[in-house]
Amino acid sequence: MRREERIMKELMTQPFDFQLPRRQVNLDFHTSGSIEQIGAEFSKEDFQNALRTGNVNSITIFAKCHHGYCYYPTKIGTMHPHLNFDLLGEMMDAAHEIGVKAPIYITAGWSALDAQQHPNWCSKCADQSVSSVCGCLTEADPDQPKPEDSWINLCLNDGSYAAHIYDLAREICNRYEQIDGLFFDICFFIEACYCDECRRGMKAMGLDPEKESDAKRYFIIMHNQFMRKCREIVAEKHPNANVFFNGGAEIHKPQYHNNQTHFELEDLPTSWGGYDKMPLRAKYFSKSGKPYLGMTGKFHRAWGEFGGFKAPQALRYEIAAMMAFGAGCSVGDQMHPSGKMDLETYRLIGQAYDYARVIEPYCYDAEPVSKLGVYLSRNQEVNEGVAKALLDVHEEFDVITDDVFERYETVLIPEESILTKSAQQSLHKYLKNNGRIFLLGDSLLQENGPMVDIGCQCCGPAAADVDYLYLDQPALKPLIRSPFLMYRPAMRLEAQNGRCEVLAEVVPPYFNRTYGHYCGHKNTPYNMKAPRRPAAVRCDGIVYAAHPLGTIYKMYGSEYHRRYFEQLLRLAYPKPSVKVSLPSAGRISFVRQAEQRRYCLHLLYAQPAHRGSVDVIEDIPPIYDTHIQLRVPEKIQRAQIFPAGDILPFHQDGEHVELKLPFFQMHTVIVFTYGGN
């Protein structure tokens, strides 16, 4: 075993002597070299007062920013020209003095000064132009307006710039006695680099720089090498420090998960991923065995916004939602160049974190209860669409991160899912043991043929550009008595001698929309006289929907599509673990804390409104008379609302528990304590 592999194996298996703090702030300080008197108003007392006001137990502080400047005396980098003291060290000491952790931020992928002084450190596109984001120009008139969020990408593929980051990290680790962690930012913003160093490295590895697939493969290999070396540098002096590489905490980037000590799920829901991105990611990363945080910001829009404030009720909702799904919390802020903390920001954060302290006992060290497992598609948009549909119908679900299906009563397999040979074998065994499957779209056809037998023949992708759904079969309620548009066509099915039950039908259009044949502004109308095909079928323990319902709901969000999805789901999964009578914007999380012998049901309600370019939460109306049904094997002894503390009456008949919650606003958790079976 090579030395680096041995070291990393030790790093990956050693226990960390820390618990990841769960009320964090990530403090940016991307500060122009043109601004003077940097940190002139910083004081230990002001900094500590802000942290106390914010109920913060960890704050990520800055060593190097996107402008390329360092905020401590450095021999490796360039200290900000208008800073005359160790601002990083002062912040660290102030935090540690009051028992607050202070991990250190280092920009990695963006550094304007380094890009200017070392053009060879810049990442290159395949055409050899400099890689940049948001229209950043390498040469521009000084008075030309600069777009927001525009930076040059630097190459981290374990070359000369990466060596600079190693030296910087080593200098920081040697300089300070207590390092709680290092946060490396902008590590995976691109997927390939074609700079001279990378092209030489690819050739030396036997890869072809002209092939995009080879360039991406090289990027993954070398970025993991970068991560490993950073971990080694930190562990040499600070073995219990956490290390995180931002941008790698994504479901669709598993190649960057092993080298993280924890995960920070960055999502500013007002303007980035929306309010439903975090639950799916939280369910996925809860299986990693590592701590994970949700990350939002105090900003109205996004990072780096001076003077922008999120409404306090929105921030409180976001914190409660992170915790309901088992995530610790991190709120982004940006310090003013003067070094003075904005106490209004920490007053708002403090209100949210004050609530977090109250509900914290009912959020962590819990396991999922749901017996519905979602197998992840290779397409993240599909995963988000399926998760959105499940969240909107208040269906608790678990994410499958292995090929073990037996723990679930029903497995949902979205479109664009590819199962390995071993996964298909496990699935067939699962079906023989009375397992159930809810299968969508083209996932039916795997590389070696149909995934399962659905009692009818699949003839491949549809020839139509769109089609229509018609519901007149007894198993499903007629949501609307006309064919309704599905936006994306179904796979072509042919029924075979009644071997399956047809649940819905496809009505085709007269023709595809072309210049030779078109009708009106958009899609061609349906042809009721044309032959129909099955749109959904049921065969033994399998419910199959031929449409890509995850894609359709993600892109179009029609209530009819969701209600159709829900009806099919209920045929495949007839006994959910929990049912609630919330409006569609309500959210639930149902978990068990086995050690405390209790279940915790989190209920959330807020209605984001789209205003301008952002989604905002302002009005949070009260919710009355929520009917709740649970399915649990234990005898429930007490149902109590937190944080209110009220005891709720309930009725239990076998494994079925029913009760009504008279009132809640924004968030509450009902704790169900149980005794023996």
The mean of the pLDDT values for the chain is: 94
pLDDT of residue 8: 46
Asked if residue 514 has pLDDT above 50, the reply is: yes
Asked if residue 14 has pLDDT above 60, the reply is: no
Asked if 350 contacts 54 with a C-beta cutoff of 8 angstroms, the reply is yes
Distances (CA, A) of 576 to 173, 581, 639: 51, 14, 20
Q: How far apart are CA 291 and CA 274, in angstroms?
A: 23
Q: Which carries the bigger pLDDT value, residue 153 or residue 11?
A: 153
Average pLDDT over residues 255-262: 96
Distances (CA, A) of 45 to 41, 53, 98, 329, 340: 11, 12, 11, 24, 10
pLDDT of residue 15: 46
Alpha-carbon Rg for the chain, nearest whole angstrom, is 27
Asked if residue 412 has pLDDT above 60, the reply is: yes
Residues with Cβ < 8 Å from 324, sequence gap 6 or more?
363, 587, 589, 602, 604, 667, 669
Average pLDDT over residues 652-662: 97
The tokens 């304007």 sit on which residue? 112
Q: What's the N-to-C CA distance of the chain in angstroms?
A: 50
Residues with Cβ < 8 Å from 297, sequence gap 6 or more?
268, 303, 310, 331, 332, 333
Asked if 251 contacts 267 with a C-beta cutoff of 8 angstroms, the reply is no
Q: Beta strands 436-440 and 542-545: pairing type?
A: parallel
pLDDT digits (tens, 9 = 90+) for 97-144: 999 999 999 999 999 999 999 999 999 999 999 999 999 988 889 999
Listed residue (509, 514, 571) closest to 540, CA to CA: 571
pLDDT digits (tens, 9 = 90+) for 193-230: 999 999 999 999 999 999 999 999 999 999 999 999 99
Q: What is the percentage of the chain residues whose pLDDT exceeds 90?
A: 91
Query: Could you tell me if residue 233 is left (phi over 0), alpha (psi between -120 and 50 degrees) or otherwise beta?
Result: alpha
DSSP state of 121: G
Asked if residue 72 has pLDDT above 70, the reply is: yes
The model's confidence at residue 557, banded by pLDDT at 50, 70 and 90, is very high
Listed residue (585, 296, 93) closest to 85, CA to CA: 93
